[in-house]
Amino acid sequence: MHYLITGHTGFKGTWLIHFLHSLGHQISGIALPPETHSMFVETRAHELLTFNVYCDIRDRQVFAENVKKINPDVIVHFAAQAFVRESYAEPRSTYETNVNGTLNLLEVASGLTSLRALLIVTTDKVYENLGQTKAFVETDKLGGIDPYSSSKAMADILSQSWMTINLGLPMAIARAGNVIGGGDFAVDRLIPNVIDSYKNSMIPVLRYPSSTRPWQHVLDCLNGYLSLIDAMIQRDLRGVWNFGPSTDSVLSVSEVCENIAREMKCEPVWHHSEAIELYEANYLMLDSKKANENLDWNPKYTSNEAIKETASWYIALHGGINPRDFTNRQIISFLEKKYSI
C-alpha cells in the first residue's frame, strides 16, 4: 500500500513513517522542510520515502501537482499549524494553513481515482470546551476560543461537509490530542523541557500545573489511525472518530513532571510560572468508546507507561544511543505488546 503523509516532517508524521516502514508499506510525504533539530532529521526519515516533497500546502497548484504525481492509495493529512501559542502570534497563517490547506487537499483528493482511504486528522481541541469535566464524544458541539482550536474546528466542519457532498470519497476524520513520544523538539513541549531541566540540574517551570490532558503515546494514536484506515478499506467505514487514552489514566501536568523526575532519579520538584499566560482549557478528555467497539482498538499503554516510554527515548538520545535504532526498538516492542484493557 502506498501512503502519502502530509506534514510528514513533523513529530507525528515522522513516527508514522517509521511505523509504516516497519509494516512494509511504501511511503511518500509532502510538507514544509524539517527543522534542523527534529525527529525527521535525527532519524534520517527521508531515507525511507519514495517521494520526499517540500512545498507549502497553501500553494494550491504546486501542492495539487505533487499529490497527483504521487498518486497514493492512502492519504493521512497531518499538515497544519499545530501550536496554540503560535496561533495567537500568527492567526492569519494559522487559519490559512489549517482551513485553506485542508480545502486544497480535499479538492485534489476528490480527483484521485485510485484513492482507497483519506484520513483527515484534526484534534481534541475542536470541541467547545466550557470547563466541564466530561469526556467529549464525537457528536458533541465543536468550538474553539484560541485561533488554533477554532481553525481546526473549521477544518473539521469543512471535512464533515465534504464527506456529506462527496459520498464516493472514502474519507474519515480522526480526533486525538496531547500525543507524546520521543523526538518532539517543538518549543514549549512539556516533557522534553522538563527532561532538559532535570538533566541540567534545574527546576522545571510549569505554566498550567493543575491542567489535565489525555496523555497518549504516539504509537497508540497512530495504531488507532491505521485501524480506522484498515476498516475504511475493508468495511467502508467513514465518519468521525476519537482516539484517546482510557479515562482512568488522566494525569495533571504536575503529575507528569513528577513521573519524569522519578524516571530520571531526580527529586520531583517544580515551580509554577508567575507569567501571565494565554488561555488554554483546564480539563480535556476524549471518549473513545466508538473506536473501542467498532474498530477493536484500545490503547496499549497507560498514561504512566506512555510517559515512561517517552522519557526513555530522550534519555537514550542524551546517552548517545542512535535515535533511529531506538525508535525502531520501541515500535517493535509496541507491536508485540498486548492491549492494556
Q: What are 252-290's pLDDT values in tens digits?
A: 889 889 988 888 888 888 888 766 555 565 567 899 999
Calculate mean pLDDT across residues 197-211.
85
Residue 121's domain comprises 2-334
Q: Tell me, yes or no, whether 340 lies in a domain.
A: no
Q: Tell me, yes or no, whether 259 lies in a domain.
A: yes
145: domain CATH number? Answer: 3.40.50.720
Residue in 297, 179, 303, 161 with CA at minimum distance from that of residue 241? 297
Maximum mean pLDDT: which of 163-172, 201-210, 241-250: 163-172
Maximum mean pLDDT: which of 50-54, 131-135, 179-183: 50-54
User: Residue 199: what are its φ and ψ, rounded to 5°?
Assistant: -60, -35
How far is Cα 249 from Cα 260, in angstroms, rounded to an integer?
Answer: 16
Contact 74, 2 (CB under 8 A): yes
User: Residue 183: what are its φ and ψ, rounded to 5°?
Assistant: 90, 5
Calculate mean pLDDT across residues 178-206.
86
Q: Tell me, yes or no, whether 341 lies in a domain.
A: no
Q: What are 134-178's pLDDT values in tens digits?
A: 889 999 999 999 999 999 999 999 999 999 999 999 999 999 988
Q: pTM (2 decimals)?
A: 0.93
Q: What are 97-114's pLDDT values in tens digits?
A: 999 999 999 999 999 999
What total number of domains does the chain contain? 1
